[in-house]
Structure 1
Amino acid sequence: MTTKDFVKNFYQEKQNILNSCFDIQSEYRTLVSTKIEELNLDEIQNKKLREIISNLLTDTFYTILLGLDGSSSIGNSQESFKIFDEDNNLISESGDLEGLAYEYFHENK
Protein backbone atom coordinates (compact mmCIF):
# COMPACT_ATOMS: atom_id res chain seq x y z
CA MET A 1 0.00 0.00 0.00
CA THR A 2 1.26 3.46 -0.83
CA THR A 3 0.97 6.59 1.31
CA LYS A 4 -1.67 7.85 -1.11
CA ASP A 5 -3.65 4.59 -0.81
CA PHE A 6 -3.43 4.82 2.99
CA VAL A 7 -4.90 8.34 3.05
CA LYS A 8 -7.45 7.48 0.36
CA ASN A 9 -8.64 4.51 2.43
CA PHE A 10 -9.16 6.79 5.44
CA TYR A 11 -11.20 9.12 3.23
CA GLN A 12 -13.25 6.22 1.84
CA GLU A 13 -13.89 4.98 5.38
CA LYS A 14 -15.12 8.46 6.35
CA GLN A 15 -17.51 8.37 3.37
CA ASN A 16 -18.68 4.84 4.26
CA ILE A 17 -19.45 5.87 7.84
CA LEU A 18 -21.28 8.99 6.66
CA ASN A 19 -23.37 6.99 4.19
CA SER A 20 -24.19 4.36 6.81
CA CYS A 21 -25.51 7.08 9.12
CA PHE A 22 -28.25 7.89 6.63
CA ASP A 23 -28.92 4.43 5.21
CA ILE A 24 -32.43 3.46 6.25
CA GLN A 25 -32.84 0.75 3.60
CA SER A 26 -30.11 -1.72 4.52
CA GLU A 27 -30.84 -4.77 6.62
CA TYR A 28 -27.57 -4.01 8.43
CA ARG A 29 -28.53 -0.56 9.65
CA THR A 30 -26.44 1.22 12.21
CA LEU A 31 -27.63 2.54 15.55
CA VAL A 32 -26.90 6.04 14.26
CA SER A 33 -29.09 5.60 11.17
CA THR A 34 -31.91 4.33 13.37
CA LYS A 35 -31.58 7.31 15.71
CA ILE A 36 -31.50 9.76 12.79
CA GLU A 37 -34.62 8.19 11.29
CA GLU A 38 -36.39 8.51 14.65
CA LEU A 39 -35.83 12.28 14.51
CA ASN A 40 -38.30 12.48 11.58
CA LEU A 41 -36.33 15.29 9.96
CA ASP A 42 -37.53 17.00 6.82
CA GLU A 43 -35.31 17.09 3.75
CA ILE A 44 -33.61 20.38 4.66
CA GLN A 45 -32.95 19.32 8.25
CA ASN A 46 -31.62 15.96 7.06
CA LYS A 47 -29.25 17.70 4.65
CA LYS A 48 -27.99 20.02 7.41
CA LEU A 49 -27.44 17.11 9.80
CA ARG A 50 -25.58 15.18 7.09
CA GLU A 51 -23.31 18.19 6.56
CA ILE A 52 -22.64 18.50 10.30
CA ILE A 53 -21.77 14.81 10.61
CA SER A 54 -19.61 15.00 7.49
CA ASN A 55 -17.68 17.94 8.94
CA LEU A 56 -17.23 16.12 12.25
CA LEU A 57 -15.91 13.02 10.50
CA THR A 58 -13.62 15.12 8.30
CA ASP A 59 -12.16 16.86 11.35
CA THR A 60 -11.75 13.54 13.15
CA PHE A 61 -10.09 11.57 10.35
CA TYR A 62 -7.93 14.51 9.26
CA THR A 63 -6.72 15.07 12.84
CA ILE A 64 -5.90 11.38 13.26
CA LEU A 65 -3.87 11.36 10.05
CA LEU A 66 -2.02 14.53 11.08
CA GLY A 67 -1.42 13.01 14.51
CA LEU A 68 0.14 9.93 12.93
CA ASP A 69 2.21 12.23 10.74
CA GLY A 70 3.52 14.22 13.69
CA SER A 71 1.83 17.40 12.47
CA SER A 72 -0.78 17.42 15.24
CA SER A 73 -1.15 15.98 18.71
CA ILE A 74 -3.04 12.87 19.66
CA GLY A 75 -4.37 13.59 23.11
CA ASN A 76 -1.60 15.41 24.93
CA SER A 77 1.25 13.92 22.93
CA GLN A 78 2.72 15.05 19.63
CA GLU A 79 5.19 12.76 17.93
CA SER A 80 5.59 11.25 14.49
CA PHE A 81 5.08 7.61 13.64
CA LYS A 82 6.37 5.35 10.92
CA ILE A 83 3.61 3.23 9.44
CA PHE A 84 4.37 -0.17 7.96
CA ASP A 85 2.14 -2.68 6.20
CA GLU A 86 1.90 -6.30 7.29
CA ASP A 87 4.88 -7.19 5.07
CA ASN A 88 6.97 -4.58 6.90
CA ASN A 89 7.00 -2.21 3.90
CA LEU A 90 7.13 1.44 4.92
CA ILE A 91 3.85 3.19 4.08
CA SER A 92 4.57 6.52 5.71
CA GLU A 93 7.04 8.35 7.85
CA SER A 94 6.98 11.84 9.30
CA GLY A 95 5.59 14.40 6.88
CA ASP A 96 4.18 12.06 4.25
CA LEU A 97 0.50 12.21 5.22
CA GLU A 98 -0.23 15.89 5.80
CA GLY A 99 -0.37 17.07 2.17
CA LEU A 100 -2.36 14.10 0.91
CA ALA A 101 -4.75 14.29 3.86
CA TYR A 102 -5.41 17.94 3.08
CA GLU A 103 -6.11 17.10 -0.58
CA TYR A 104 -8.57 14.34 0.27
CA PHE A 105 -10.33 15.88 3.25
CA HIS A 106 -10.32 19.59 2.40
CA GLU A 107 -10.04 19.72 -1.37
CA ASN A 108 -12.40 16.76 -1.91
CA LYS A 109 -9.96 14.96 -4.18
Structure 2
Amino acid sequence: MMGPKEFAEACRQERDAMLALYADAGGGSAVGERLRAAGLSENQTKEVFAALNGALTDAFYTVLLALDGSAALGGQQQTFQLADQHGTPIASGDGRLESAAWVALQQDQD
Protein backbone atom coordinates (compact mmCIF):
# COMPACT_ATOMS: atom_id res chain seq x y z
CA MET A 1 0.00 0.00 0.00
CA MET A 2 1.08 3.55 -0.65
CA GLY A 3 0.05 6.34 1.66
CA PRO A 4 1.16 9.98 1.62
CA LYS A 5 4.58 9.26 3.11
CA GLU A 6 5.39 6.55 0.56
CA PHE A 7 4.07 8.68 -2.32
CA ALA A 8 6.22 11.66 -1.32
CA GLU A 9 9.22 9.40 -0.85
CA ALA A 10 8.66 7.91 -4.34
CA CYS A 11 8.69 11.44 -5.74
CA ARG A 12 12.01 12.12 -4.00
CA GLN A 13 13.41 8.91 -5.42
CA GLU A 14 12.24 9.96 -8.89
CA ARG A 15 13.94 13.35 -8.49
CA ASP A 16 17.16 11.62 -7.43
CA ALA A 17 16.95 9.16 -10.34
CA MET A 18 16.47 12.01 -12.81
CA LEU A 19 19.52 13.84 -11.47
CA ALA A 20 21.59 10.65 -11.66
CA LEU A 21 20.48 10.10 -15.25
CA TYR A 22 21.47 13.64 -16.19
CA ALA A 23 24.90 13.11 -14.63
CA ASP A 24 25.49 9.74 -16.33
CA ALA A 25 27.67 10.29 -19.41
CA GLY A 26 26.15 7.20 -21.04
CA GLY A 27 22.61 7.76 -19.77
CA GLY A 28 21.31 9.08 -23.07
CA SER A 29 19.11 11.82 -21.62
CA ALA A 30 18.67 15.01 -23.63
CA VAL A 31 19.46 17.09 -20.53
CA GLY A 32 22.68 15.18 -19.90
CA GLU A 33 23.73 15.50 -23.54
CA ARG A 34 23.20 19.27 -23.48
CA LEU A 35 25.18 19.60 -20.27
CA ARG A 36 28.08 17.65 -21.69
CA ALA A 37 27.96 19.67 -24.93
CA ALA A 38 28.23 22.89 -22.92
CA GLY A 39 31.80 22.00 -21.93
CA LEU A 40 31.39 23.22 -18.38
CA SER A 41 34.17 23.13 -15.83
CA GLU A 42 33.82 20.81 -12.84
CA ASN A 43 32.74 23.69 -10.62
CA GLN A 44 30.24 24.98 -13.19
CA THR A 45 28.79 21.50 -13.59
CA LYS A 46 28.42 21.23 -9.81
CA GLU A 47 26.54 24.55 -9.73
CA VAL A 48 24.28 23.55 -12.63
CA PHE A 49 23.38 20.30 -10.87
CA ALA A 50 22.64 22.21 -7.67
CA ALA A 51 20.28 24.43 -9.68
CA LEU A 52 18.67 21.40 -11.35
CA ASN A 53 18.19 19.79 -7.95
CA GLY A 54 16.51 22.94 -6.71
CA ALA A 55 14.26 23.20 -9.76
CA LEU A 56 13.18 19.56 -9.62
CA THR A 57 12.61 19.77 -5.87
CA ASP A 58 10.45 22.86 -6.32
CA ALA A 59 8.48 21.23 -9.13
CA PHE A 60 7.77 17.99 -7.27
CA TYR A 61 7.01 19.83 -4.03
CA THR A 62 4.58 22.22 -5.71
CA VAL A 63 2.70 19.39 -7.43
CA LEU A 64 2.43 17.41 -4.19
CA LEU A 65 1.17 20.43 -2.27
CA ALA A 66 -1.31 21.20 -5.06
CA LEU A 67 -2.65 17.65 -4.91
CA ASP A 68 -3.25 18.12 -1.19
CA GLY A 69 -4.98 21.45 -1.79
CA SER A 70 -2.38 23.64 -0.11
CA ALA A 71 -0.94 25.23 -3.26
CA ALA A 72 -2.23 26.36 -6.63
CA LEU A 73 -1.66 24.32 -9.77
CA GLY A 74 -1.96 26.30 -12.99
CA GLY A 75 -3.42 29.20 -11.09
CA GLN A 76 -6.19 27.13 -9.52
CA GLN A 77 -6.23 25.87 -5.97
CA GLN A 78 -8.46 22.96 -5.03
CA THR A 79 -8.27 19.71 -3.12
CA PHE A 80 -7.84 16.46 -5.03
CA GLN A 81 -8.75 12.96 -3.93
CA LEU A 82 -5.89 10.59 -4.75
CA ALA A 83 -5.70 6.98 -3.59
CA ASP A 84 -3.58 3.94 -4.38
CA GLN A 85 -5.01 0.84 -6.05
CA HIS A 86 -6.20 -0.45 -2.68
CA GLY A 87 -8.09 2.72 -1.87
CA THR A 88 -5.52 3.98 0.64
CA PRO A 89 -5.74 7.79 0.61
CA ILE A 90 -2.65 9.61 -0.65
CA ALA A 91 -4.08 13.13 -1.01
CA SER A 92 -7.37 14.28 0.45
CA GLY A 93 -6.79 17.81 1.65
CA ASP A 94 -6.00 16.77 5.22
CA GLY A 95 -2.39 17.99 5.14
CA ARG A 96 -0.78 14.57 5.39
CA LEU A 97 0.67 14.71 1.85
CA GLU A 98 1.86 18.28 2.45
CA SER A 99 3.66 17.15 5.61
CA ALA A 100 5.15 14.08 3.92
CA ALA A 101 6.30 16.20 0.97
CA TRP A 102 8.15 18.54 3.32
CA VAL A 103 9.98 15.67 4.99
CA ALA A 104 10.82 13.89 1.72
CA LEU A 105 11.79 16.88 -0.40
CA GLN A 106 12.54 19.95 1.69
CA GLN A 107 13.82 18.85 5.07
CA ASP A 108 17.29 18.04 3.74
CA GLN A 109 17.59 21.15 1.55
CA ASP A 110 19.85 24.03 2.59
Cα RMSD, aligned residues only: 1.4
Q: What residue in structure 1 maps to residue 101 of structure 2?
A: 101
Residue pair 2:3, 2:88 contacting (<8 A) in 1 also: no
Residue pair 2:3, 2:90 contacting (<8 A) in 1 also: yes
> How far off its partner does 1:77 sit?
0.8
1:10-25 residue pairs with structure 2 within 5 A?
10-25=11-26
Letter in 2 for 1:77: Q
Q: Which runs of 5+ in 1 are unaligned?
A: none
Letter in 2 for 1:5: E
Q: Which runs of 5+ in 2 are unaligned?
A: none
| 1:2-43 Cα shifts (integer Å, max 9, x gaps) | 2110000011111111111111033xx101111100011111
Query: Could you tell which deviates more after superposition, 58-67 or 15-24?
Result: 15-24
- Between the two proteins, the alignment pairs up a number of residues equal to 107
Letter in 2 for 1:38: A
Query: Could you tell which deviates more after superposition, 85-94 or 99-108?
Result: 85-94
The TM-score with structure 2 as length reference comes to 0.90
Letter in 1 for 2:56: L
> Do residues 50 (structure 1) and 49 (structure 2) align?
yes
Question: Any idea what SS the aligned residue of 2:75 has?
Answer: coil
> How far off its partner does 1:92 sit?
2.8
Letter in 1 for 2:88: N
Which structure is richer in relative contact order (CA contacts within 8 A, separation 6 or more)? Answer: 2
The TM-score with structure 1 as length reference comes to 0.91
